[in-house]
Amino acid sequence: MYFMKTYNWGILGTGFIARKMADALPFVPQSFLSLLLLGKPKKIKAIAGFGSTDVDFNCSFSFGYDDDSLSVMHSSVVAQTDIVAEIYGEKGTIVFDKWWFTPVPIHLITPDGKKTPVALEFTGNGYNYEAAAMIQCLEQGKKQCEMMSWEDSLLLIDMLDAIRKEIGLVYPDHD
């Protein structure tokens, strides 16, 4: 997700509503995107469906922020979803194509419906950018990366733990 940090998000204005971040993975990527764009939420609400093996197979969750922005997300391991991320703002929408949590095409959509591709050059599946950032930090003698600090990592874990608590998901060796 390195390219997300380098793009000018101001084009959408204020009042982001991150929505329809559905994917077939647990709720980590959506929570990370919300943290990246909106910071720490003041409220976390979630509901989940559990199968006969007590595995959460569907989860919808929302984050509320001090400026009344919302991040509304869903994850599922049983439903076929679009696996896209759409970020709505006062001046338009940013759409990350399928498998949005990897380097994918991005489009800006204006309120009048004009769709403009965002030209980004990328290679690999995204982990190469994380590896390059780690190597750069090590070469510079840094113990953490400014793009994702230890504090950010701990905040993300706190957000995920709050979702698990809200839906009643307990890991016996963890909780």
Q: Order of strands, edge to edge, in the sheet holding 106-109? A: 43-50, 56-64, 70-76, 17-19, 85-89, 92-96, 106-109, 115-118
Q: Show me where the domains of the chain are located.
A: 2-167
Assign a CATH topology to domain 2-167. Answer: Dihydrodipicolinate Reductase; domain 2 (3.30.360)
Global pTM value: 0.73
Report, as an integer, the average pLDDT of 125-140. 85
How far apart, in Å, do the first and last CA atoms of the chain sit? 30
Report, as an integer, the average pLDDT of 42-63. 90
Which residue type occupies 169? L
Q: What is the mean pLDDT of the chain?
A: 78
